[in-house]
Amino acid sequence: MLRLAIQKSGRLSEDSLKLIRECGISFITSSLKLKTESTNFPLEILYLRDDDIPGYVADGVADIGIVGENVLVEEGMQRLAVEQLGFSKCRLSLAVPKGDSYEHISDLQGKNIATSYPKLLQTYLDEKGVDANIHTISGSVEIAPSIGLADAICDIVSSGSTLISNGLREVERVFSSQAVLIANEGLDAEKRRVLDKLLFRIHAVQRAQK
Ligand code: ATP
Ligand code: ZN
């Protein structure tokens, strides 16, 4: 039996479940349950907060998981990545108040930037040779400039409408993300075999969608 961790409720949940179903794996879901077992494949599904998924997979509490690359890389767990899944595509971008005279990344030198992704942002700023003050906040990042907490933000964007409605302008792309399948590095032969079977089906689903 292979244990798969997916997001309990959020932007990864629906497409993660859809992928598993498209692989011909049946299970019964209930919003109250924290885990379910497939009725026709040796798979158990755990429903967790997305941020906890890389850690649980690294520790072997779950064998495999589905999470955004943004969270995986922020947590320094890239080594667990097995396969990009092509959904939950988004980007991590820098944005400034729309009236600002921003022209170049060097304009952020010495500025205060609010984000929930300090490591990804630091890596990007280091690459660009920019020294800024990163303020890590866990949510509502997009309001930080309007309340005087920061000069700029670095946050997840998909359509950009949240930025616009908060009077912000996207100025730099820091990281591109999509959902990724991750696996514990020490799976035994039996679990490895089940994972290979699952991957084979995922590839078939992906080919059919092309
Ligand atoms: P949890 O309660 O599980 O911690 P969360 O609020 O941290 O949830 P979500 O907002 O559901 O997370 O986002 C989960 C992941 O989905 C993000 O880490 C990112 O990879 C992706 N994502 C975020 N926003 C979007 C978006 N607008 N469009 C597509 N994918 C997104
Ligand atoms: Zn989360």
Q: What is the ipTM of this complex?
A: 0.96
**Percent above pLDDT 70 for the chain:** 100
Tens digit of each residue's pLDDT (9 = 90 or more) over 60-119: 999 999 999 999 999 999 999 999 999 999 999 999 999 999 999 999 999 999 999 999
Average pLDDT, the chain: 96
Average pLDDT over residues 160-165: 91
pLDDT value of position 160: 85
Ligand 1: residue whose CA is nearest its atom 5: 10
**Domain spanning 2-88+178-209, CATH architecture:** 3-Layer(aba) Sandwich (3.40)
Find out whether 169 and 95 touch, Cβ atoms under 8 Å: yes
Integer Cα distance of 113 and 202 in angstroms = 39
pLDDT value of position 30: 74
147: which residues sit within 8 A by CB, 6+ positions away?
Answer: none
CB-defined site of ligand 1, < 6 Å: 7, 10-12, 49-51, 68, 70-71, 88, 90, 156, 158, 177
Report the atom number in ligand 1 closest to the C-alpha of 68. Answer: 20
Tens digit of each residue's pLDDT (9 = 90 or more) over 189-207: 999 999 999 999 999 999 9
User: Tell me: domain 90-177, CATH 3.40.640.10, correct?
Assistant: no
CB atoms within 10 A of CB 19: 21
- Ligand 1 pocket: which of 6, 12, 175 to mutate (most atoms within 8 A of CB): 12
Residue 173 pLDDT greater than 80, yes or no: yes
Q: What residue spans in the chain does CATH classification 3.40.190.10 cover?
A: 2-88+178-209, 90-177
pLDDT value of position 124: 98
Cα end-to-end span (Å), the chain: 30
| Nearest bound ligand to the CA of residue 8 | 1
